[in-house]
Amino acid sequence: MIQFYNDTTPMPEIKQNEVRTWLKSVAADYGKKAGDINYIFCDDSKILEVNRQFLNHDYYTDVITFDYTSGNTLNGDIFISLDTVATNAEQVGCDFLEELHRILVHGLLHLCGQDDKTPETRSQMTIKENLALDKIFPKA
């Protein structure tokens, strides 16, 4: 089951049931099934703490994915800094909710096995994010 939690920040105004259906559909596109996936919305200070504690990284980020996937069933904890999502949205000139949905699916794509450590894999990730976003934000 896909669950949404807030930690150190108010819960964002997303349509949780619609988002669950969308994320399950994206997982199915990759031959995967959504198992226990927890999205934890937080602020920059919390994501920095998580980054330091678990990854030994001393910087802010928008998303950290802990992958507990077993076979084709996706399981994981996905921390999302709403502060950084807001900053990213402002920098790229898009709506906060659209950027938040991009980060929601970004975490899911990591659970599906997508990497973004090189320029080539980052480019592939962006293409996959855009395809997924088209499913929930259809272009006219």
Domains of the chain: 2-136 (3.40.390.30)
Which whole-number Å values give the CA distances from 68 to 81, 111, 130, in the listed order?
20, 8, 25
- Those residues of the chain that have pLDDT short of 50 are none
* Percent of the chain residues topping a pLDDT of 70: 99
Dihedral angle computed from the Cα positions of residues 120, 69, 7 and 100, in that order, rounded to the nearest 10 degrees? 40
| Cβ atoms 75, 116 nearer than 8 A | no
User: Alpha helices of 2-73 — where are they, by DSSP H?
Assistant: 16-29, 44-55
pLDDT at res. 140: 55
pLDDT at res. 78: 98
pLDDT at res. 137: 84
Estimate the crossing angle of helix 96-111 against helix 82-92, to 10 degrees.
120
pLDDT at res. 138: 78
